Amino acid sequence: MTGDGRDDAGLPLFYRSLRSIDSERDSGRRFRHGGYAFARTAVAIPLGAEEIPRAASDYPIIFSGGPQPIALAVVGLVEQDNLFVDEHGHWLAGAYLPAWVARYPFILTDDSANRRLVLCVDDESGFLDAAQGTPLFEDGAPTAFLSQAMEFCLDLHNRQAASNEFTKSLVDYMLLEESDARLETPGGVVEFRGVRTISRAQFDQLHDNVILDWRRRGWLELIYAQLQSASRWETLKRLFDRRTETGESALPGFDQPVSDKVPAPGDDAPPSLPAAIDERLPVGFRLQRRPGKGSEY
């Protein structure tokens, strides 16, 4: 995965075949959530800056490399093994669900030629069905569910600039340092090399004016949360030890079946789209473009 959350093929993490949502092509399509098996092999998942405080309660938070790093929630200790997803595609009950996961299989792509954003779907997700689930369109118009998905993806897109500003400032003030994480497990020693985290020593040397400015921006909460998330390595170790010793079927918390219904805003259980971010959509937040019949959404 690259610094912008894309894999080696250039597609965002989890996505395999993107196409735009179309009111004619998708007129008979329905959405049925298929669980989180698509994230089963991920060991780190991108986070928006605003997600860091909540995610830090469950995951160690690190940063990707490059001049424009992104925050990452570490969810596994060895390749191809997300400790928060079991063999049935259930996410660990009670653990924070990253917005990057919650928006799947939808995503916005930039149609630069027409200067607009287009809602796309992973055509290989298996989440779209002709018989079961919630319709995407009714009488050629987007359903409330599809509009909710669009607004959720658009909100995440709009938040990206603020996240980039935060992480770029960490680089500019040389607050990111590389370190190694080393954990003793029943199966041997697990090591993470070149992990980038915030340097507490460098942070403590920031000028008071910078601290005041960052406090106004709400960045101090993000920094302290990332620093405190270091204790979550032990959470990963416990999950890893239990999976190694007893098998994932014995893991506690993986007893929540995936509901066939699409949760409405305010539902507590994932995959409620607005519940995957820290704040509700601001009052008055609406789509700027409503497509006509046969147009891309």
pLDDT attached to residue 156: 93
CA distance 103 to 188: 36
pTM of the predicted structure, to 2 decimals? 0.80
Pairing of strands 71-74, 61-63: antiparallel
In Å, how far from its chain's centre is CA 262? 19
Domain locations in the chain as residue ranges: 18-276
- Per the CB < 8 A criterion, the answer to whether 258 and 86 are in contact is no
Q: Helix, strand, coil proportions of the chain in percent (round to 5)?
A: 30, 20, 45
pLDDT attached to residue 195: 85
pLDDT digits (tens, 9 = 90+) for 89-111: 999 999 999 999 999 999 999 88
Has residue 255 got a pLDDT over 70? Answer: no
pLDDT digits (tens, 9 = 90+) for 149-193: 999 999 999 999 999 999 999 999 999 999 877 777 776 777 777
Instruction: State the distance between the two ends of the chain, measured CA to CA, in whole angstroms.
Output: 28
pLDDT digits (tens, 9 = 90+) for 60-77: 999 998 889 999 999 999
Query: Is pLDDT larger for residue 202 or for residue 9?
Result: 202
Give the strands of the sheet with 18-20, arranged side by side: 18-20, 116-122, 106-111
Has residue 249 got a pLDDT over 70? Answer: no
pLDDT attached to residue 9: 58
Strand stretches in the chain, DSSP E: 18-20, 30-31, 44-47, 61-63, 71-74, 106-111, 116-122, 128-129, 134-135, 137-138, 141-142, 176-185, 188-198
